[in-house]
Chain A
Amino acid sequence: MLSMFKSASHIAGVAVVLTAITFAGFAPTVDAQAPREASAKEKAAWATEWSRRVGVELEYSFDSSGDVAWDSAEHPLVFMTTEGPGYGGMLGGVTLPGFAIFDADTRKPVLSKDYDVLAWGWENVFEPHGLGVSPDGKWIYLPTGVGSFMTMNEDGVGRYLIINAETLKIDKVIKITGQAHHAKSYSTEAGEQRVILYGWSQPLFVLDPDDDNRVVGSVTQQDQGVEAYSYWPSPDGKSIYGMGRYRDFEMRKHLLDNPIWRIDTETWAVKKWIHVPDSAPVWMSFTSDGETAFISGSRNSIVMEYDVNEEKIVHEQRAGVDGPYGAHFGWDDRFIYTIGKGEESHNRGKMLGMVDKTTMAVPGSRAMDQFYTGCIRGDHGTLHPDPEANEMWISCNASFEVVIFDLDLREVTDRLPLPRGGSTHSGAFVSYPNGWDGPGENVSDMAGLHGSALEAKRQIVAGEYQPK
């Protein structure tokens, strides 16, 4: 009987939540912070030599302090992802750049938040892509901008909204030279927090969240010699790798290869260019020891194995899907899951591929398998930071959901619709073990596992893991 009571209370609890959701309707909590253009003095104070050399400037500055917007003690582990109007999201009524926060334990939405940039005079809104979070969980970085994909390479259209995670108020608006794309975090060897930002026609710049989010490193197009599509930090924080991509789709169609390059995060100099056998490398995932990395090549639908010490591609394998975007490890550093977005091909991918890295050196070997997810235009996977969950949360641009792919069962076990039906990209798992009374921790994002989660994985791989 006890279980019946438990079931009844469970059902009642769900009913209360659903009722609350229904009444709340996840109406956008539109931020109405009036724009206040940063003064020349403020701009000068924020600027550094690293921001100036890549054309990044402070546009607006706000006081982001105020009331706590959500209860992180009630939701000590959350998944943050973008929610925007692109890829049909506007049909759901989403017109502004924003994000949603899900409780990563219950999988229920906690909130949805957007920002009324149209009230600032923007003519339209560029779909927010890869959201990032500072290593301490204090700041959210939302890439967006004015314009569309037709105007994405125009100068000065992209913006990053830097948002206080506690109040959800905008703290700064950073104006960039191209269109904003991704944000992801890493820590230096000395434990300093860093956030990587870049876009289309906007090369890498790196912020220090502990220093008013000033730019502390950058590379120019001239430094690189070629435009980049994305950048990836090594687990030790010593290097960042750029993935080359020519702007012209027709040009890429007829290219067989491209470079990637290694940037030294002390000097911000490009130290090495490396040839890769694909004209559109996208994603880079490192083994937990940092010795090897795997890169998805979306043009040729391959996964490439990169030897970090030798600084060269040593093997390649079919990705198991057409147009792979994300390429992710689970908790074993063995199987690589490739997200079949249809990048460079059809852009309506709904599949997940599986590659066994241990067979890549075997002549004639192939990808292991592929799985149907129904996640339309799935792009980024983010590994849940609890190894017992052993699941990947995949953002689906054009089916307006996050699907949960179980890496034990190798099937989709849950689908989380975006609260307001917007498009979604990327995501980050952030833990707040002490609510707002202590620091949070970005434990898993585009750059893989971080901090305590990465340490747990290293122990698992070494066979020494002891759950806390």
Chain B
Amino acid sequence: MIRNLADIKMTQFINLNLTKRLIAFCALLITAHVASAQDAALDTELLAQGEEVYNTIAGIGCKGCHGEYAEGDLGVGPFTRGANEGMVSAAVNGIGEMIVVKNVITDEQITSVSAYLNYLGTAQVARSLVKRGRFLPEVFSARPGTRLQLILQNGGFEAHTFKSDNMGIEDIEIDARTSGNLIWEAPEQEGTYSLYCTDCKLVDQYFTININASTPEFRKVAPGIASKGTQAGLYLYEE
């Protein structure tokens, strides 16, 4: 079942990836989740615009340097999850290497991509590479109530389908050699949840997510506000 952001928002189960890589997921909440006031105010249309900018601006997108999920994992641009508009604006205008973006990006696009990055900063990344059905890593732990961005990388040469029997996730199809992601709000209760591949070579392989109160708390990235015009390279956070 494909949902758009507006639908998803209604369930507080948000799929940020609007590309065709992530085909479908079921947005059924497993346990009650009390949305924060901040979540209730999410502008999903703005987030979708921001994701589009992140993936496409200047031909290569922000992801071309900062990585597909803004983790700085390409070794070119740094980790930017949680960046706000002030930081993005300062970087675009102050970092020489970003001139390719500066030349084409609009103020509206800075606003939307900042919203997108800021939202990513509220989610803890739970990533696994899937090869022949085997998950690497096999286990991820998080605290109850944590917002997780589940990223599954399909290491294979054909599309594979994934599902979970206890996370409300069905038939996520991910193309060969690409990744798919979704936002999953961990329940407030401790428990063990798992995803698996339905059509891979190896069976009985799981990506297990342990929701456990003893897990170190995920600290949201840059939750504070840095004012517009912050000097490039200087990041000031206010709690």
Contact assessment for A408 and B157 in the assembled complex, using a CB-CB cutoff below 8 Å: no
Task: Decide if B67 is an interface residue (CB 8 Å cutoff).
Answer: no
Chain A hits for B206, CB < 8 A: 3, 6-7, 10
Chain A hits for B157, CB < 8 A: 387-388, 460, 465, 467
Task: Decide if B132 is an interface residue (CB 8 Å cutoff).
Answer: yes
Output the least CB separation between B74 and chain A (Å): 14
Task: Decide if A390 is an interface residue (CB 8 Å cutoff).
Answer: yes
User: Which residues in chain A, 394-413, are within 8 Å of chain B measured between CB atoms?
Assistant: 406, 408-409, 413
> Please, which residue of chain A has its CB at the minimum distance from the CB of B167?
A3
Interface string of A1-32 (1 = CB under 8 A from B): 11110110110010000000000000000000
Contact assessment for A389 and B131 in the assembled complex, using a CB-CB cutoff below 8 Å: yes
Contact assessment for A408 and B165 in the assembled complex, using a CB-CB cutoff below 8 Å: no
Contact assessment for A3 and B166 in the assembled complex, using a CB-CB cutoff below 8 Å: yes
Task: Decide if A154 is an interface residue (CB 8 Å cutoff).
Answer: no
Contact assessment for A105 and B201 in the assembled complex, using a CB-CB cutoff below 8 Å: yes
> Please, which residue of chain B has its CB at the minimum distance from the CB of A468?
B158
Chain B hits for A10, CB < 8 A: 204, 206
Task: Decide if B111 is an interface residue (CB 8 Å cutoff).
Answer: no
Contact assessment for B155 and A388 in the assembled complex, using a CB-CB cutoff below 8 Å: yes
Task: Decide if B109 is an interface residue (CB 8 Å cutoff).
Answer: no
Chain A hits for B129, CB < 8 A: 406, 408-409
Contact assessment for B164 and A6 in the assembled complex, using a CB-CB cutoff below 8 Å: no
User: Which residues in chain B, 150-204, are within 8 Å of chain A measured between CB atoms?
Assistant: 155-158, 164-166, 192, 194, 196, 201-202, 204
Chain B hits for A116, CB < 8 A: none
Contact assessment for A105 and B202 in the assembled complex, using a CB-CB cutoff below 8 Å: yes
A413 to B132, CA, bound (A): 14
Contact assessment for B164 and A3 in the assembled complex, using a CB-CB cutoff below 8 Å: yes
Interface string of A433-468 (1 = CB under 8 A from B): 000000000000000000000000000100001010
Contact of B166 among A4, A465, A467 (CB under 8 A): A4
Task: Decide if A386 is an interface residue (CB 8 Å cutoff).
Answer: yes
A409 to B164, CA, bound (A): 24
Contact assessment for B156 and A467 in the assembled complex, using a CB-CB cutoff below 8 Å: yes
Contact of B136 among A7, A106, A388, A409 (CB under 8 A): A409
Contact assessment for A6 and B132 in the assembled complex, using a CB-CB cutoff below 8 Å: no
A433 to B166, CA, bound (A): 35
Chain A hits for B131, CB < 8 A: 388-391, 406, 408
Question: Provided the pairs A3-B196, A7-B206, A13-B204 are in contact, do residues A388 and B132 lie with their beta carbons within 8 angstroms?
Answer: yes
A406 to B134, CA, bound (A): 12
Chain A hits for B194, CB < 8 A: 3, 7
Chain B hits for A408, CB < 8 A: 129, 131, 155
A9 to B196, CA, bound (A): 15
Question: Provided the pairs A1-B165, A1-B166, A3-B165 are in contact, do residues A386 and B204 lie with their beta carbons within 8 angstroms?
Answer: no
Chain B hits for A465, CB < 8 A: 157
Output the least CB separation between A30 and chain B (Å): 33
Listed from nearest, the 8 A-B pairs whose CB atoms lie closest are A388-B156, A2-B165, A3-B165, A10-B204, A467-B158, A3-B194, A467-B157, A388-B132
Q: List 10 A-B contacts (CB under 8 A).
A: A7-B208, A10-B206, A105-B132, A386-B132, A387-B157, A388-B155, A389-B131, A409-B129, A460-B157, A467-B158
